[in-house]
Structure 1
């Protein structure tokens, strides 16, 4: 059977059109892929800044010692007219606190966290070197519902726990007040979590609809292992990010050459404080028994000028049941010798006075975890004591 000439022409045109269409679709896919690769490479270049040297933490991660003035936090457009230096420190200290102005800064405070026993050279800050695969994983991770939260919604009403987040916290109650700081001493643990879960103990400092969180966390999605690590989370302008890996530099500015968020938490307990500087309005992160300045959030990072509410306690996240253990995995029994604890909590009011009793608090937890709130003095140096934890939901 012979095909007529018109039919041959139509068949040829059909084959040609299909070929062109497939080629066009393939070209779009390639262009889209190329654009995505370009964006990833661009972000990697912004994160992995040129380094003076490369050092390793005791857990093996590679960090670049980046010039202070080239760190991600100074990429923000609002930083162009500011003159920040690595010698910056908190200029004013709350009345009634144990924080004192230091006459010198020790370079060995956090040296034990590095293979070289020192950290980076003076004038530089350690920035984690990020691979393409790690960035892609982090991008997917941050895009979902697993970012840290508070037990309050943006209107300060109790939040439901049906989104995978569970809490056992003590939080300030009543009408939002003006806070210029808060602190805690928290014991560290390493609860067993699944690959898509996290479990942490943190201080949550709310500033209007924005906030900072500091503490320790076990978070394999973020760190690619199951160790307990020190973390900082910033929520500002409707965006959230861990540590210094913030798009457009809206996160914290680091001032130390021997410390950066993400390092191992170790065993024992550690002090954290967030303090607003009365002189310039910057919010400082202080850590350690000698209250070392770690870094600061410039005053213009947040829309509001004062803190509005504060939480201390545990938070876990799991996309499905069972949820992971919190703290040491046990319900509180009434003693910090066997319970997960946060002690010595304080707040700083708008007049810059420290409140060590913090009596305007309430408990919040769901059926999976428990929390107690006490001022008992049966253990030395407890102050306002929080006991929390639990094995998780089944």
Structure 2
């Protein structure tokens, strides 16, 4: 099949064969089609998805849907079957399958290492991929304690990513464990050098060393939803001083597993058996933005965070997180109080955060974040 990167005509085919997957296994590929974005979506038999190749899931009891949703979720209302990704224009996956976005060539998303509170120790250190950890920049809000989950309404943008290998994200981190063995579950949107805002998930159970991956690139995350393609572009992103697009991201524990909901859609879960420190509860929640600055030519990157505008510009111009909530150990959603949060902006002249509380306007505890990167204020 000839590859048309920006095809306007969706190309569909039925593939009644098994192909070598991207995950070192054979996948039962029921159907495939190409999208307007140039992606190829494979509809894969639910039981042949990568998760079940993980040795810790050999005798895993599958949870097809959460048994309940913690009470008092303060999410923006959305249609029960709201479809927020463009690939639906070109096809649907049959029952008993899940959509998997096929990787093109050798491209893999860059791993981002969540060391925002450990900068002093790591300013001149290298991570396992050889990156200077001081080049990971953040504008985040964080909360410590013991938790069974987190929620936020996230404003989705398509910031410019200037250099190949750089990235800009807006996400939630659910974290437990010491620095070198940290466990995390992460979800939100990210933009790579292809300049597309994509839904993603990530996890690690050993401090980003040898476990975990993005989306379904390795065994781990169990997807149950046939309407959401992890790693696929989000349609209708926000525009400056115009239409604003939000997605609700919720991670919460149910029957021992950690579920992901996007808007009203349960997408799937991370089995607790994947983790050590997150097997029971999280000890830190973080909301916000992150970029990787490769400092090409010795100057700060022009890669934008959020909308590419500073928090001070406010609604319609700056990116935001709204209705920050946590799930307590009784599985009840609680509103985060602004006074409970710490904030962290690694380079406020490049990317910043502005925390606020709206007790009457429906935004709850919220913040604007982001910035343009390289500028007169941010030369290096």
Same fold by TM (over 0.5)?
Answer: yes
- Counterpart in the other structure of 2:152: 184
Deviation at 1:339, TM superposition (A): 1.9
1:33-72 paired onto structure 2 within 5 Å:
44=22, 46=24, 49-72=27-50
CA deviation profile, 1:328-374 (whole Å, cap 9, x unmatched)? 11211163233211111101111222211334101100222110111
Distance, in Å, in 2 between the alignment partners of 1:147 and 1:336 is: 28
Distance, in Å, in 2 between the alignment partners of 1:265 and 1:150 is: 27
Q: Could you say if the C-alpha distance between residues 195 and 259 of structure 1 is closer, same or farther in structure 2, counting changes exceeding 3 Å?
A: same
Matched, 1:386 2:354: no
- Counterpart in the other structure of 2:342: 362
CA deviation profile, 1:85-133 (whole Å, cap 9, x unmatched)? 6xx111132232258xxxxx96x543863255552101001122235x3
Q: Could you say if the C-alpha distance between residues 355 and 61 of structure 1 is closer, same or farther in structure 2, counting changes exceeding 3 Å?
A: same
SS across alignment from 2:364: coil
- Counterpart in the other structure of 2:217: 245
SS across alignment from 1:333: helix
Structure 1 unaligned regions, length at least 5: 1-40, 100-104
Deviation at 1:51, TM superposition (A): 0.3
Q: Aligned-pair RMSD on alpha carbons?
A: 2.6
Distance, in Å, in 2 between the alignment partners of 1:306 and 1:349 is: 9
Q: Could you say if the C-alpha distance between residues 382 and 157 of structure 1 is closer, same or farther in structure 2, counting changes exceeding 3 Å?
A: farther
Which of 376, 385, 393 matches 2:358? 376
Deviates more, 1:44-53 or 1:262-271: 44-53
Which of 52, 59, 68 matches 1:74? 52
Deviation at 1:227, TM superposition (A): 1.0
1:56-205 paired onto structure 2 within 5 Å:
56-84=34-62, 88-98=64-74, 109-110=82-83, 113-116=86-89, 118-131=91-104, 133-134=105-106, 137-138=107-108, 146-153=111-118, 160=123, 163-172=134-143, 176-193=144-161, 194-205=163-174
Higher strand share: 2
Higher helix share: 1
Deviation at 1:293, TM superposition (A): 0.4
Matched, 1:307 2:282: yes
- Counterpart in the other structure of 2:247: 270
SS across alignment from 1:300: helix
Count of residues in correspondence between the two structures: 321
SS across alignment from 2:51: helix
Does the aligned pair in 2 maintain the 1:119–1:259 contact within 8 Å?
no
- Counterpart in the other structure of 1:228: 197
Does the aligned pair in 1 maintain the 2:33–2:90 contact within 8 Å?
no
Q: TM-score, normalised by structure 2?
A: 0.77
Does the aligned pair in 2 maintain the 1:147–1:240 contact within 8 Å?
no
Does the aligned pair in 1 maintain the 2:101–2:232 contact within 8 Å?
no
Q: Could you say if the C-alpha distance between residues 180 and 159 of structure 1 is closer, same or farther in structure 2, counting changes exceeding 3 Å?
A: farther
- Counterpart in the other structure of 2:13: none
Deviation at 1:381, TM superposition (A): 2.0
SS across alignment from 1:213: strand
Structure 2 unaligned regions, length at least 5: 1-18, 124-131, 238-244
Q: TM-score, normalised by structure 1?
A: 0.74
Deviation at 1:258, TM superposition (A): 1.4
Q: Could you say if the C-alpha distance between residues 48 and 235 of structure 1 is closer, same or farther in structure 2, counting changes exceeding 3 Å?
A: same
Q: Could you say if the C-alpha distance between residues 149 and 42 of structure 1 is closer, same or farther in structure 2, counting changes exceeding 3 Å?
A: farther
Which structure has the larger Rg? 1
Does the aligned pair in 1 maintain the 2:308–2:318 contact within 8 Å?
no
